[in-house]
Structure 1
Amino acid sequence: MALINRVSRLFRADMHAVLDRIEEPDLLLKQAIREMEAAHAEDEQRNKLLKHELSQLESRQQVCQKKLDAMEVELDICFHSEEEALARKLIRRKLETEQLSEQLEARQHSLHQKVSELAQRLQENRIQLESMRQKSQLLDENQQDFSSKDYQEISTPTIQDADIEIAFLREKQKRSRS
């Protein structure tokens, strides 16, 4: 039984080594960059949606506050006119509006936390993505250097007699000045 386990382990290890050689690291890196870019774009979209929802909540909160202010004035009028039944109905609406305002405020607080966490994650991902892009660029440059060296034969430069004469005259002129 132990022998079969060892043989199967060796076979799996050899298969993994073969697969590692087949896979090209530059293609895997480019795929990882594409996936990171997609995730980053998704997070940015989510951030925009959260900020939009937050602005909507803030506007609803302002509407609630205006209603509460108006209800205060109406309550003053009801109590001044001694309309207690109407005042009770108004107080019910006021309490409902205050509860809604508290819920909106709690939701706003929750969204502020999510937006700040997401902004931090976006910043970290942006840095990591830029690092991966730079690595990919270096890998591409290295491969281009290797490929150009592999396929180009080094030719011996041809020096003509006129080049030799010009260089000779320059060197002679340098030495005559000093």
Structure 2
Amino acid sequence: MVPDRCLVAPGALILSPLALTADCLRRVKNAGPNATPAPRIIGVDDWAIWKGQSYGTIIVDLERREAVELLPRRDGSELRTWLTQHPEIEVLCRDRWAPYTEAATAAAPQAQQIADRWHLLKNIRETLERFLDRHAGRIKAAFTPTIINSPDSNSGPETPAEALSPATAKQKQREAN
């Protein structure tokens, strides 16, 4: 695949000495008709053609970090067709949207399907929030300081438990009981 910045109009080199670099020339020379092998590991997601109006499907080669295909719809039927034409797909990273799941399962049964990083992090965050909400009382109690009376002076000032060493705090608790 030749980068867009490497493609110049005839005569552009004369007009602008920086229009074509040695690196670009090497890439053009080395790029054959099938220089890029078929993708094995892909990511599938939706993309906005017109935000809020029209969405398509993007397929990305995750090994090369390059977009492979932009499909005009995200209904899953075009993804199914594309996957059928690419039996070399080994891993398919996708979100949890049902049409993508159905298309991948039907057209690429050989491919291992995995959740994308964004959705994994979202799932972890939601699970952690539910856990913290359920155990908020216990967590608050664990961080509330316990006041222990000093055995030396029954009427003296009280010492917060966290100000004592762990061994001293345990000893004072045993003596208080």
The TM-score bracket by the shorter chain reads under 0.3
- Indicate the structure with greater helix content: 1
**Pair member with larger Rg:** 1
Q: Which has the higher contact order (CA 8 A, sep 6+)?
A: 1
TM-score between both structures, scaled by the size of structure 2 = 0.25
TM-score between both structures, scaled by the size of structure 1 = 0.25
- Indicate the structure with greater strand content: 2
